Amino acid sequence: MNLVVVSNRVARASSNEPMTGGLAAALLPVVEKSGAIWVGSSGRVRDGAQREPFAEIEQLGAGALAMLDLPAAHYGGYYEGFANSALWPALHSRADLIRVSQDDYRSYREVNSFMARALLRFRKPDTAFWIQDYHFLALGAELRALGVTQPIGFFLHTPWASPATMGCVPHNRELVEAMLAYDLIGFQTEEDRSNFLAYGKAELGFAIADGVVTTPYGTSRCEVFPIGIDADLFAQQAQKATAHPDVSRLRKSLNGEKLVIGVDRLDYSKGLINRVNAFDRMLTMRPSLQRTVSLLQIATPSRGTIEAYGNLQGELAKLVSDVNGRLGEADWTPIRYLNKGFRQGVLAGLYRTAQVGLVTPLQDGMNLVAKEYVAAQNPIDPGVLVLSKFAGAANELDTALLVNPHDVEGMARAIATALSMPLTERRLRWEAMMAKLRRGSVQSWFADFVASLEDAHTANSDAAGA
Ligand code: F6P
């Protein structure tokens, strides 16, 4: 089988740039090994791209990476507009942040249909298409409209919110109808899957049997495939990275202080304001901890032209400076706050240096930072993960210190508990998490989805022929 994987953002093996986001970083090594063709946006736009799709193609392991210039007239409405100002807030249960126009929806559909036409050049008789994430909910339907009869699967990296919240997305019914063109729809968690099915039952009268949805619009199988990481490879990277100059400088600068680390895109779903408030609360509740610990918060700028993101950046910078101004000393800065990305080879070393990893999103599909923090730890003296129960990762990493990110005081207590946790308990918790990471690798995620896609397609074709 020839596999074509599609996502908005892609990653170049040759690039030295820090990677933005979990999806591209997770896909790179597996796609590289699989020999698939990976198609996505080049990050550039072009007038006339619709008439004549242009792809820059480079080798990617045994396969290839094809980066397309997207149509200039529709890119803003598609990416900043419908994908990230309607779908993203709704999927993360923030319907109050939805801001879109009819033009944005039109542009979203245009880019989906542009991508479908561009994909035809990669189609062979035995090709299967695997579409990633909320940018391309309607791509399967566009491919079917062009006569594609091969297997087409879809995986959602974000959560799927409650039916009431998803009902706030303009054109929600049309979009979910379009999704039924997929043979297989994959989710990160059982909760996401059941929210999707509950929406479908209520809005579109889904008939559901054994995870298979049958409707007048199509038949799709819905399954859960929690995405993982290559834990042993990440552990090796972390060990190597301790020698990296950025990491050794950090260690020296700590001067015996403990380190708490947070690494996120600057996004309202990540719970950054509550997290900083919790760290502040901990230092205020327990003054003896002052000067003994600092928080390194890396918040990589993201989607900065969208108002909600610009507002968050301003609010967070002000909050951090308030905490540092109020609690800091001439020789101690409570929060080291950075607005830039780091390469994985450095990040792995930063994770290993920190005694506590803080991953406290308000909502998150999976959150691979949680998994990477665990994999990066020194087995002899592992750090403690403080993890939001609303991150998909909490289903597997249930021996982390699980917190409610809305409860600032509870988080403050959890960080203090993590900082003083005895070695035996840290080891027990860490070993249990590492064992789960080894079982649910990114390789098995990829292989399981592809196998299930073939099955689902065969079953759908048999049912259609019967
Ligand atoms: O699942 C959400 C996702 O696609 C992740 O891969 C990543 O965290 C993020 O969104 C990337 O966002 P963007 O491509 O807009 O920077």
CA distance to 72, 101, 118, 280, per residue, from 77 (Å): 10, 8, 19, 39
Spell out the per-residue pLDDT of the chain, length 466, in tens: 899 999 999 988 777 676 666 788 889 989 999 999 999 999 999 987 777 777 899 999 999 999 999 999 999 999 999 999 999 999 999 999 999 999 999 999 999 999 999 999 999 999 999 999 999 999 999 999 999 999 999 999 999 999 999 999 999 999 999 999 999 999 999 999 999 999 999 999 889 998 899 888 778 999 999 999 999 999 999 999 999 999 999 999 998 999 999 999 999 999 999 999 999 999 999 999 999 999 999 999 999 999 999 999 999 999 999 999 999 999 999 999 999 999 999 999 999 999 999 999 999 999 999 999 999 999 999 999 999 999 999 999 999 999 999 999 999 999 999 999 999 999 999 999 999 999 999 999 999 999 999 999 999 888 877 6
Residues 6+ apart with CB under 8 A from 52: none
Substitution site in 27, 265, 309 for ligand 1 pocket (most atoms within 8 Å of beta carbon): 265
304 and 396 Cβ atoms separated by less than 8 Å? no
Centroid of ligand 1 to alpha carbon of 70 (angstroms): 17
Domains of the chain, earliest start first: 2-228+445-461 (3.40.50.2000), 231-439 (3.40.50.2000)
Tens digit of each residue's pLDDT (9 = 90 or more) over 215-260:
887 789 999 999 999 999 999 999 999 999 999 999 999 989 999 9
**Catalytic: 244?**
no
CA dihedral 33, 151, 21, 237 (to 10 degrees): -20
Q: Is 69 in the pocket of ligand 1 (CB under 6 A)?
A: no
Here the ipTM equals: 0.96
Q: How far is the CA of 325 from the centre of ligand 1 (A)?
A: 33
- Site to probe by mutation for ligand 1, drawn from 87, 157, 298 as the one with most ligand atoms within 8 Å of Cβ, is 157
Whether residue 92 lies in the annotated active site: no
398 CB contacts (<8 Å, ≥6 apart)? none
Q: Give residue 18's pLDDT.
A: 67
What integer pLDDT is reported at residue 13 of this predicted model? 77
Residues 78 and 315: their CA atoms lie apart, in Å, by 27
Segment 23-66, tens digit of pLDDT: 888 899 899 999 999 999 999 999 877 777 778 999 999 999 99
